[in-house]
Structure 1
Amino acid sequence: MSWSVGETPAAVRTANVRVAGFDALSAEEIDAWHTLRAANPLLDSPYFHPGFSAAVHQGAPVEVAVGRDESGRVSALLPFHRDARDRALARPAGWPGADFQGPILAAGSTIQPLQLLSAGVRGLEFDHLVESCPDFGPWVESRRVSPYLDTTGGLDGYLGRASKSGKDNMGQARRRLAKTERTHGSVRFAADTVDAESLSRVIELKRGQYAATGVADYFADPSRRELMTRLLHTRDPEFGGVLSTLHAGPHLVAAHFGIRSGNVLHWWFPVYDPAFSQLAPGWMLLRELVAATPALGITRIDLGRGDDEYKRRAKTGESEVCQGLVTRSSARLAVRRARNSVITAAKSSALGPGLRKIVRRLRGGHS
Structure 2
Amino acid sequence: MDIRVYRPGELTAADRAAWTAIQTQAPAHGSPQLANPFLSPEFALTVGRVRRGARIAVVREGGEPAAFFPYQRSAAGVGRAIGLGVSDCQGVVHRPGFRWDARELLRACGLSVWEFDHLLAGQQPFEGGVTASFASPVIEVAQGYEAYLAHLRATAPTFLKTTLAKERRLGRQVGEVAYVHDERDPAALRTLMAWKSAQYRRTGRSDRFSHPWITQLVERLFHTRTAAFAGQLSVLYAGGQPIAAHFGPRSRQVLSCWFPAYDPRFRKYSPGLVLHLRMAEASAADGLALLDLGRGDKPYKDDLKTGEFTVSEGWVMRRHPVALGHRAHRAPVRALRNAVHSRPELFETADRILKRIGKIRVSRKVSGT
State the TM-score, normalizing by the size of structure 1.
Answer: 0.85
1:212 paired with 2:202, answer yes
**In the aligned structure 1, how far is the partner of 2:136 from the partner of 2:104?**
28
Mapped partners of 2:168, 2:78: distance in 1? 52
Residue of structure 2 equivalent to 1:263? 253
SS in 2 for 1:178: helix
Which residue in 1 is equivalent to 2:127?
Answer: 137
Tell me if structure 1 keeps the 8 A contact 2:20–2:228. no
Q: How far apart, in 1, do the equivalents of 2:98 and 2:153 lie? A: 36
Please list the CA deviations of residues 119-174 of structure 1 after superposition, one character each: whole Å capped at 9, or x if unmatched.
54211000101123211121111110011011134331102223645343222222
Q: CA RMSD in A?
A: 2.4
Is the contact between residue 46 and residue 217 of structure 2 (CA under 8 Å) also seen in structure 1?
yes
Residue deviations 1:234-292 (CA, integer Å, cap 9, x gap): 23231101111111114321111111111311111111111111111111111222222
Q: Distance in 1 between matches of 2:82 and 2:185?
A: 26
Maintained 8 Å contact 1:48/1:101: yes
Classify 1:344/1:152 alpha carbon distance in 2 versus 1 (closer, same or farther; 3 Å).
closer
Matched residues in 1 for 2:14 and 2:232: separation? Answer: 29
Higher helix share: 2
Match of 2:309 in 1: 319
Distance 2:286 2:338 in 1: 41
Secondary structure class of the residue paired with 1:235:
coil
Residue 175 of structure 1 is matched in structure 2 by: 165
1:33–1:291 CA distance, 2 compared to 1 (3 A): closer
Query: Measured at CA, do residues 256 and 167 of structure 1 come closer, stay the same or move farther in structure 2, by a change above 3 Å?
Result: farther
**Number of equivalenced pairs:** 340
Q: Name the stretch that deviates more: 214-223 or 343-352.
A: 343-352
- CA–CA separation in structure 2 for the residues paired with 1:206 and 1:239: 24
Secondary structure of the corresponding residue to residue 143 of structure 1 = strand
Matching of residue 44 in structure 1 with residue 68 in structure 2:
no
Equivalent residue in structure 1 for 2:50, among 54, 59, 64: 59
Q: Secondary structure at the match of 1:58?
A: helix
The CA deviation at 1:353 is: 5.4
Task: Determine what percentage of the aligned residue pairs are the same residue.
Answer: 32
Taking the aligned partners of 1:167 and 1:34, their CA distance within structure 2 comes to 39
Change (3 A) 1:299 1:38: closer
Matches of 1:17 and 1:161, distance apart in 2: 45
Structure 2: give runs of 5+ residues left out of the alignment.
355-369
| Amino acid in the other structure paired with 1:190 | V
- CA distance in structure 1 between the aligned counterparts of 2:204 and 2:155, rounded to whole angstroms: 29
Change (3 A) 1:325 1:253: same
* Corresponding residue number in structure 2 for 1:359: none
**Alignment partner of 1:117: what SS?**
helix
Range moving further from structure 2, 310-319 or 287-296? 287-296
1:166–1:315 contact (8 Å) kept in structure 2:
no
Corresponding residue number in structure 2 for 1:237:
227
Match of 2:212 in 1: 222
Letter in 1 for 2:83: G
Counterpart in 1 of 2:362?
A: none
Q: Is contact 2:138-2:308 (8 Å) kept?
A: yes
Q: Secondary structure at the match of 2:156?
A: helix
CA contact (8 A) 1:255 1:270 kept: yes
Cα gap change, 1:161 to 1:231, in 2 (>3 Å): same
Matching residue of 1:285: 275
Bigger Cα displacement from structure 2, 267-276 vs 326-335: 326-335
TM-score, normalising length from structure 2? 0.84
Aligned-partner Cα distance in 2 for 1:90–1:127: 12
* SS of aligned partner of 2:50: coil
Counterpart CA distance in 2 for 1:108 and 1:163 is 39
1:88–1:121: 8 Å Cα contact kept in structure 2?
Answer: yes
Kindly tell me: are residues 256 and 166 of structure 1, through their superposed partners in 2, closer, same or farther at Cα, counting changes over 3 Å?
Answer: farther
